[in-house]
Structure 1
Amino acid sequence: MASNFDLYVERRHTDSDKWHKYEGKEIIPLWVADSDFISPPAVIDALQKRVAHGVFGYGYPSPELSDVFIQRMQQLYQWEVKPEWLVFLPGLVCGLNLSVRALTTPEQGTIAPHPIYPPFMKSARLANRNQVSAPIKLQGKRWVLDLEATEQQLSGNEKLLMLCNPHNPGGTIYRRSELLDQLDFAQRHNLIVCSDEIHCDLLLEEGLEHIPFASLSEDASQRSITLMAPSKTFNIAGLGASIAVIPNANLRNRFIEARMGIVPNVDILAYVAATAAYKDGEQWLADQLDYLRGNRDLVMEKINTIPGLKLMPVEATYLAWIDASELPVSNPHAFFEEAGVGLSPGSDFGNPSFVRLNFACHRELLTQALERMANAVANLPTTA
């Protein structure tokens, strides 16, 4: 069955966090990173069959899910993953927090890109760990990690390097040479690496490839935790199924011990959805990527014609990191919210001069939001 990504799905007055935030207001929500697209038919069919069974007791990850994930890693990345390396989690954010708590002591610090997806910063703060902000700099038209500037900030007590590939925000797909530089950095400073790769399937720039950090070498494998999930890819984030790939037995045992009694097992319906998505969702994913490329191109074109706004090319994800530093307003997020467009504030990621726009939505709705943004800027008072 062909998917129609131009189909508008009414999400108001449902249990949608994204849409509930602005319930009763004329504000288009383009903030939190879930899409407005109907999930793959194979996922819906599998869930309906499981619900029809009628019994919802405790579950466990089926060998089938492990098998399809391992096959996927081999097919896409030529990365040989073993079943015992897999730790299933009810979300990726808990994987970030567990990595910090399991793999560092209170005296040890973490290193994370900046700006970055907010839970990276929160995971260190909640665990009372120091965090070095590794700056993301603009190189050409790509946001990349500045390891040289990071090195100058180190105290020698850092133990965990937290990476994000593709990067959120900014959408950068790191090239092999850049990943090897990150590995060299980790080796020189004796760091464990936690790599958030949740957006690895959402590659918009054709001809580019995702390379898992752990697949670089045996050393990279043994010093790393890789976090992946079908949640963003197939719009099943609300079901909560993520995977930590931890080849090193010592790191894996510490990670598992840290979760005991705190992080619950994955919901049985989430297992069903994840298995169906990985098994039978590829054509749906290909169609979604085509649609997202069209939306990405529309956002690039429109944003870069609005005075005071700049957007660099988005290589991956469905998230546009918009530079509003030249806009003559004190709070870009509040300004556009007042204009009827709900974006993510850049301050959440570490830079209040930016806003993040989620373009995984019906194109007509996206067009309307972009028009509201352009009109709001056009109506700003001019100075003599």
Structure 2
Amino acid sequence: MQHDFATPIERRHPRAQGQTPEWPSMKWGRYTPDVLPLWVADMDFVSPPAVMKVLHDRTEHGVFGYGGVPNSLRDTLCAWSLKHYAWNIEPDWQLWLPGVVPALHIASLALTEPGEGVLTVTPIYPPFLKVADNTGRLKQTASLAAPITSGAPWRLDLEALGEAITPATRLLLWCHPHNPTGRIWDEQELAGLAELVCRHDLLLVSDELHCDLLLEEDARHRPLAAMFPALASRLVTLWAPSKTFNLAGLTTACAVISDDKLRARFAAKCRGLMPETNVLGLVAAEAAYGQGESWRQELLETLRKNRARLVEAVSCWPGVEMHPPESTYLAWLDLRRAGLGKNPQKILLEEARVALSDGADFGWPGFVRLNFGTTPDQLNEALDRLDVLLNTAG
């Protein structure tokens, strides 16, 4: 491998040599030094060399005033979309924003009225569940169909989703591929979703943040907008380089909206509520999409090996169930029968000193989300700690 995904990087309190201030990490700074953090979704890998170089060059310029989105970035994303997703997007469809979570909130404000329903399907990335409350809308949820047998995949329950839609429902927040289960939705599930959206005249936000991290060798992401052109007048697609290239701290994302009227509504609500684009994030995004493909391919090899190691470990833990994630670097573990009580995340933190994300925040208590986007040695150490506790508890 040309790139290093094995050497641990100091992330607790790194700093420039002999200088202050420190550069704290949310992931590594929340807990005491004896805790291994496998929770929040950022990886422990150095970003692609092309990104490092362009950021160095940009900082050497020394002026960080208000910037604009360069045409070259728009063209680069168009090329990436066509090559990887077979979706021929236009530069003018792109609205570059400071992150996907702010974009979810802007969508609610721009596309719904106070009191209208914002629907999402659980388990789900926690900010989805806060959008309605934060924007004065009606929070609505439906549940995925949990696996019936050990190792089986989670499924979209179209009947449950349809029953959750009421006359108040206006907006559906969707995650494709799915965080936290790692599902790559199949065409039948997505066709059923599209039919429900059209039948009930809903607007749809498709968070496709993990679309470049498909772990199945033959899988290829298909954006909802490419699969179902009839959704164009009601669909916002959210992309970002943050998960793929480990750039979350540069707060840069893109809403791709082909419909002029829908895009204008979204853009109008951004004014005054969103900060200007991040000048470093924009150049990093262009370098990542334009020159980061070899790094991404090696990352996928590392994540596949880490996933295999995780699957091996889970198979030895009594009462623990997991469908191997088909995408992302996140695994969704069912610990309800592992003998750890009602709050397994707390027990794993206190007794194994491994920090995972609490399933209750995703709408499903008794589960945890594990981030395996870390070096093999750090993953092995965390799994060894969990192995001691889970084998004893089971």
- For Structure 1 versus Structure 2, the TM-score category normalised by the shorter chain is over 0.9
Distance 2:203 2:193 in 1: 11
Distance 2:115 2:58 in 1: 47
Report if aligned partners of 1:346, 1:355 keep a CA contact under 8 Å in 2.
yes
Distance 1:78 1:185 in 2: 25
Report if aligned partners of 1:195, 1:227 keep a CA contact under 8 Å in 2.
yes
Measured after TM superposition, the shift of residue 116 of structure 1 is 0.3
Distance 1:184 1:233 in 2: 30
Aligned to 1:334: 346
Report if aligned partners of 2:316, 2:391 keep a CA contact under 8 Å in 1.
no
Q: Which residue, out of 338, 361, 367, partners 1:348?
A: 361
Range 59-68 or range 297-306, more displaced: 297-306
Identity of aligned residues (%): 43
Distance 2:33 2:346 in 1: 14
Aligned to 2:161: 150
1:72-151 superposed matches below 5 A? 72-138=80-146, 141-151=152-162
Aligned to 1:11: 11
Aligned to 2:206: 195
Letter of the aligned partner of 2:313 in structure 1? K
> Any stretches of 5+ residues in structure 2 without a counterpart?
15-23
Report if aligned partners of 2:86, 2:222 keep a CA contact under 8 Å in 1.
no
Measured after TM superposition, the shift of residue 107 of structure 1 is 3.0
Measured after TM superposition, the shift of residue 329 of structure 1 is 2.0
Aligned to 2:49: 41
Letter of the aligned partner of 1:78 in structure 2? A
Distance 2:229 2:304 in 1: 35
Distance 2:39 2:99 in 1: 19
Measured after TM superposition, the shift of residue 249 of structure 1 is 1.5
Report if aligned partners of 1:308, 1:328 keep a CA contact under 8 Å in 2.
yes
1:52-71 superposed matches below 5 A? 52-71=60-79
Measured after TM superposition, the shift of residue 131 of structure 1 is 2.4
Distance 2:267 2:286 in 1: 22
1:1-384 superposed matches below 5 A? 2-14=2-14, 15-22=24-31, 24-138=32-146, 141-330=152-341, 331-338=343-350, 339-380=352-393
Distance 2:285 2:59 in 1: 15
The alignment's C-alpha RMSD in Å is: 1.3
Letter of the aligned partner of 1:355 in structure 2? V
Measured after TM superposition, the shift of residue 177 of structure 1 is 2.3
Report if aligned partners of 2:117, 2:138 keep a CA contact under 8 Å in 1.
yes
User: TM-score, structure 1 length as denominator?
Assistant: 0.96
Measured after TM superposition, the shift of residue 139 of structure 1 is 5.2
Report if aligned partners of 1:115, 1:350 keep a CA contact under 8 Å in 2.
yes
Report if aligned partners of 2:143, 2:161 keep a CA contact under 8 Å in 1.
yes
User: Per-residue CA shift, 1:52-102, capped at 9, x if unaligned?
Assistant: 111111101100100010111111122111111110001110111111111
Report if aligned partners of 1:173, 1:209 keep a CA contact under 8 Å in 2.
no
Q: Tell me the secondary structure at the aligned position of residue 321 of structure 1.
A: strand
Distance 2:177 2:231 in 1: 18
Report if aligned partners of 2:121, 2:161 keep a CA contact under 8 Å in 1.
no
Q: Tell me the secondary structure at the aligned position of residue 96 of structure 1.
A: helix
Measured after TM superposition, the shift of residue 253 of structure 1 is 1.3
Q: Tell me the secondary structure at the aligned position of residue 322 of structure 1.
A: strand
Report if aligned partners of 1:110, 1:132 keep a CA contact under 8 Å in 2.
yes
Report if aligned partners of 2:78, 2:89 keep a CA contact under 8 Å in 1.
yes
Q: Tell me the secondary structure at the aligned position of residue 144 of structure 1.
A: coil
Report if aligned partners of 1:174, 1:210 keep a CA contact under 8 Å in 2.
no
Q: Tell me the secondary structure at the aligned position of residue 144 of structure 2.
A: strand
Measured after TM superposition, the shift of residue 164 of structure 1 is 0.2
Letter of the aligned partner of 2:353 in structure 1? G
User: TM-score, structure 2 length as denominator?
Assistant: 0.94
